[in-house]
A and B are shown apart, each in its own frame.
Chain A
């Protein structure tokens, strides 16, 4: 098929629609800036786009640091979504993972070199357990996973607060937070401190990207992923084809939980001074994961890009305060972007109409 114009493949429509959503979101943010303070709108807007790099490499490092946990929670939501489940419980799994990482970090410094690895694995395991509960309820009792995982979010939050506060080995009663973790539990920098001096970036970003790669392979290349997706699309037909559909649902949730748990582990083991604070607020990383998954269209590689992008404008947003704007504008922009990525179907239709209008063939597959 020879085309003189730009050739748009069907598979590119998704990417284009996400780009379009980003564009509309930014445009909307700019309008808000104009409304609140017209004279400072242009420099403010430029700050959103480039602010993250104000301090050069340090800024870039911070972007990777912020991106790490939300890529993983995004993967958690996106993976579950690909297998027909809506994991709104990434937050709870994230909390469970953080807690496990902090416990191992504070109680087992004798492990030495493998200390951080054990702590990270513990966080994944705790997240997996937290994810398994809604999975089991769904598989055996047909309980909607949205409801049960929201419950698990609050159970996780309060159980962790209660346990941290009640434990002498974990709690710093002066600061009302968990005690600082020893050096041996910190994720190694893996050379990134040389590239991005003074930033909090560490090897966690490699782990997150590796996780995305593994999830991509599982979903698209393996019989295991074939089964998980089949169950997500049609539970009855999967049962008919001899797939153990209960096991598949539980495993989907376990893997999603492990990813979100690992997000918690990587954040608290980063050695950037993060502590479990005993407050009754759900951490934002879990819900940001939903945004990342939506913007990345649940595609693992798309999720990595979406995570980096949201981290980028979030850290740029901090500098908005220089122009007397509030940083919440970033939240609004992200919200608009998500809104428009949810419209991706309409936008995809729009693109296919445009490309059809140019006399191009729609289906290249």
Chain B
């Protein structure tokens, strides 16, 4: 059988961890090959090796049967390997056209020849159904459109092997549908696609074959149509995974969080706009309330206002009967509020602190961890060791591991461990499983349900419809800064929820439920 690209016996080590251990990956021409694995399983490392960002300690890469040594991304590009990174690499104040030709400009006599480039791009976008406006600025277009630009960038360079690193993480359900369609079209035209993901639905929907990695080792390569989801997830995690969350009926008790008429106004260059408009809702003890909505409809601002990270323009936030609208973050944190923030790198962690230090980030000032202003490092480490054990946090060097060096999933576990270990009365979890694999998602979901059953009030914000449907006891839909529906997840379908989220349907919201 002839493969277009083969990675044979790849081994790559980092201090304290073997990221890839004798991994094989063989991709046929014109196929969509999924690369499945948990966080930290070594998918990104393997792709970085293929893209020339890392040099493997052992193993070789063969392109069309011929051995090649990929020394860097530029050379990878020359060989026809292109990659769309999970976080797009686009210049925001350049137009779509400029971004696509960047680095490959046609120049005649020192002058840019944009006309030819434009024609080529328009032809490509027509051929592969990738609608873009070549003159729009990147900062003005949607995330889905930006992704199309990234794909066009690869096509413009005549790449034959396309690597898509978790391409669906940032997309809405409709955009995902569209992307799948594009991927099929590309494969039909003879392009080979390596599709990195941990979403089993998407693999089943689009991939031909699938290579599974687990803890740096290559488990197997299987044909997707002949393998069911349960088997795939078992291969990935190494044990049976319950794909459906097993949870008991909620027993909501008294109100813990009461938000009334909350308004947040954005001030940008003179003109103001209400991002959160007179939002009112209640979260009670023992229930999980989910705020569902498409990204950018005011979720972040609402949560920041509740937690105290940003200002509130009007309205009130009452936690456990105390008006906390104007209280400091520290006051809220020490009075029953725990917060799993949406951006773990920006808010959740001090990446240059050790694992143990990050685990006490909300508690280092408590008497147990300090004495007259001096930190009791032995207690901090003890606490760290306990949580590492309890939450199965994996790292290279235990409590002393630099948090920056950990995988995303384990970083998220650090935050979840820290916030849950404080026994909160109100847990605010914003996209707690963003970018995580099924094993970690299952774990975090179970932890959240456990908190609920212990009488904690949970406010969840999620963009993942599966998560919303699975986890919540009540769904509040947010659209353009307003709560437009109050739904029972048992009574609606995913499609209906999608309609509410896109604003094409509005429900009745009981504004005065207390």
Enumerate chain A interface residues (CB-CB to B < 8 A): 221-224, 226, 229-230, 233-234, 236-244, 362-363, 365
Choose, from B20-28, B228-236, B326-334, B466-474, the stretch at the interface: B326-334
Q: When the two chains form their complex, are residues B365 and A236 in contact, meaning their CB atoms are under 8 A apart?
A: no
CB distance from A142 to the nearest CB of B (A): 15
Complex contact B361–A230 (CB within 8 A): yes
Cβ–Cβ < 8 Å partners of B351 in chain A: 233-234
A223 to B360, CA, bound (A): 11
A223-B375, A226-B375, A230-B361 are known contacts. Are A238 and B15 too (CB-CB below 8 A)?
A: no
Main secondary structure on B side of the interface with A: loop
Least CB separation from A225: chain B residue: B375
> B374 touching A221 by the CB < 8 A rule?
yes
Contact status B329-A365, CB under 8 Å: no
B362 with A365: CB separation less than 8 A: no
Interface pair A242/B397, CB less than 8 Å apart: no
A237 to B358, CA, bound (A): 10
Residues 234-281 of B at the A interface (beta carbon under 8 Å): none
Sample 23 A-B pairs with CB under 8 A, ordered by A number.
A221-B374, A222-B373, A222-B374, A222-B375, A223-B370, A223-B373, A226-B357, A230-B350, A230-B353, A234-B352, A237-B346, A237-B350, A238-B350, A239-B347, A240-B309, A242-B332, A242-B333, A242-B362, A243-B330, A244-B330, A363-B15, A363-B396, A363-B397
Contact among B331, B352, B362 for A241, CB-based, below 8 A: B362
Partner of B365, one of A223, A229, A238, A362: A223
Alpha-carbon separation in the docked complex, A365 to B375 (Å): 20
Q: Is B35 an interface residue (CB 8 A)?
A: no
Known: A223-B373, A223-B375, A365-B400. A240 touches B365 (CB 8 A): no
**Complex interface: chain A residues within 8 A of B370 (CB):** 223
Q: Is the CB of B375 within 8 A of A221?
A: yes
* CA distance in complex: A362, B349 (Å): 26
In whole angstroms, what is the CA distance A108 to B319 when docked?
Answer: 57
Q: Which residue of A lies closest to B346 (CB)?
A: A236
A245 → chain B closest CB, angstroms: 10
Contact A240-B348, Cβ < 8 Å, known A223-B364, A365-B400: yes
Distance of A237 Cα from B362 Cα, bound (Å): 10
Chain A residues contacting B332 (CB-CB under 8 Å) are 242
CB neighbours of A244 from chain B (8 A):
328, 330
Interface residues of B in 336-356 (CB under 8 A from A): 339, 341, 346-353
Complex alpha-carbon distance, A14 and B239, angstroms:
44
Q: How far is the CB of A360 from chain B (nearest CB, A)?
A: 12
Chain A residues in 8 Å Cβ range of B341: 240
Contact A240 B329 (CB under 8 A): yes
| Residue in A closest to B348 when the chains form the complex, CB atoms | A237
Cα–Cα, bound, A230→B373 (Å) = 16
Interfacial chain A residues near B350, Cβ < 8 Å: 230, 233-234, 237-238
**B110: Cβ under 8 A from any A Cβ:** no
- Chain B nearest CB: distance from A220 CB in Å? 9
Query: B16 near A: Cβ within 8 Å?
Result: yes
One of B309, B349, B362 near A239 (C-beta < 8 A): B309
Complex Cα distance A325/B139, Å?
60
Instruction: With CB as the reference atom, state the residue of chain A lying closest to B365.
Output: A223
CA distance A236 to B347 in the complex (A): 5
Q: How far is the CA of A230 from the CA of B348 in the complex (A)?
A: 12
CA distance A221 to B373 in the complex (A): 8
Q: B353–A240 contact, CB under 8 A? A: no
Inter-chain contacts of A226 with B (CB < 8 A): 357, 364, 375
Nearest 4 CB-CB pairs, A to B? A242-B330, A242-B329, A240-B347, A233-B352
Q: Who on chain B is nearest to A241 by CB?
A: B361
Bound together, the chains give a CA A341 to CA B309 distance in angstroms of 39
B377 to A, closest residue via Cβ: A221
Residue in A224, A226, A243, A365 whose Cβ sees the most chain B Cβ within 10 Å: A226
Taking CB atoms, residues of chain B closer than 8 Å to A365 are 397, 400
Contact (Cβ within 8 A) B375 A239: no
Instruction: Give the distance to chain A from B143, nearest Cβ to Cβ, in Å.
Output: 22
A326 to B102, CA, bound (A): 52
Q: A223-B364, A233-B351, A362-B15 are in contact. Are A239 and B329 (CB under 8 A)?
A: yes
**C-alpha gap A243/B341 in the complex (Å):** 16
Not counting A223-B374, A226-B357, A230-B353, a sample of 14 additional A-B residue pairs whose C-beta atoms are within 8 angstroms of each other reads: A221-B375, A223-B365, A234-B350, A237-B346, A237-B347, A237-B350, A241-B329, A242-B362, A244-B330, A362-B15, A363-B15, A363-B16, A363-B396, A365-B400
- Whether A224 lies near B373 (C-beta < 8 A) is yes
User: Which residues B377-400 have CB closer than 8 A to chain A?
Assistant: 396-397, 400
A242 B328 Cβ-Cβ under 8 A:
yes
A222 to B365, CA, bound (A): 10
Distance A226 CA – B333 CA, assembled complex (angstroms): 18
CA distance A223 to B374 in the complex (A): 6
Q: Which residues of B contact A233 (CB under 8 A)?
A: 350-353
CA distance in complex: A362, B396 (Å): 12
Residues of chain B lying within 8 A (CB to CB) of residue A237: 346-350, 361
A222 to B374, CA, bound (A): 4
Question: In chain A, what residue has the closest Cβ to B418?
Answer: A241
Q: Which residues from chain B contact A230 at a C-beta distance below 8 Å?
A: 350, 353, 361
Most buried by A among B309, B331, B332, B350: B350
- The CA-CA distance from A221 to B334 in the complex, in Å, is 23
Let me know if A240 and B375 touch, CB within 8 A.
no
Bound CA span A363–B401, Å:
11
- CB neighbours of A222 from chain B (8 A): 373-375
* Chain B minimum-CB-distance residue to A238: B350
Chain B residues near A229 (CB, 8 Å)?
353
Cα–Cα, bound, A363→B333 (Å): 36
Contact B330 A240 (CB under 8 A): no
User: CA of A362 to CA of B15 in the docked complex: distance in angstroms?
Assistant: 7
Residues in B with CB closer than 8 Å to A243 are 330
Bound: A344/B234 CA distance, A = 46
**Chain A min CB distance to B307 (Å):** 8
Could you tell me the distance in whole angstroms from the C-beta of A348 to the nearest C-beta in chain B?
Answer: 13
Which residue from chain B places its CB closest to the CB of A84 in the assembled complex?
Answer: B352
Q: How far is the CA of A243 from the CA of B347 in the complex (A)?
A: 12
B420: min CB distance to chain A, Å: 16
Which residues of A lie under 8 Å from residue B362 when comparing CB positions? Answer: 241-242
Closest to A242 in B: B330
Complex: how many Å from CA A230 to CA B351? Answer: 9
- Distance from B230 Cβ to chain A, minimum over Cβ atoms (Å): 38
Q: What CA separation (Å) do A222 and B372 show in the bound complex?
A: 9
CB neighbours (8 Å) of B309 from chain A are 239-240
Complex: how many Å from CA A244 to CA B15?
35
Is the beta-carbon distance between B16 and A240 smaller than 8 angstroms? no
Return chain A residues, CB-CB under 8 Å to B15.
Answer: 362-363
When distances are taken between beta carbons in the complex, the residues of chain B under 8 Å from A236 are 346-347
Residues of A within 8 A of B334 (CB): 242
Residue of B nearest to A224 (CB): B373
The smallest C-beta distance from B346 to any residue of chain A, in angstroms, reads 5
Of A222, A230, A242, A244, the most chain B CB neighbours within 10 A belong to A242
Please report the C-alpha to C-alpha distance between residue A62 and residue B82 in the assembled complex, in whole angstroms: 64
Taken together as a complex, chains A and B put the C-alpha atoms of A222 and B371 apart, in Å, by 9
Residue-by-residue, is B1-26 near A (CB-CB < 8 Å gives 1, otherwise 0)?
Answer: 00000000000000110000000000
Please give me the residue from chain B that is nearest to A363 by CB atom. B15
Q: Of all chain A residues, which has the CB nearest B361? A: A241
Shortest CB distance B199–A (Å): 28
With both beta carbons as reference points, the residue of chain A lying nearest to B401 in the complex is identified as: A365
User: What is the bound-complex CA distance between A328 and B16, given in angstroms?
Assistant: 47
- Bound-state CA distance A221–B353 (Å) is 14
Cα(A243)–Cα(B353), bound, Å: 15
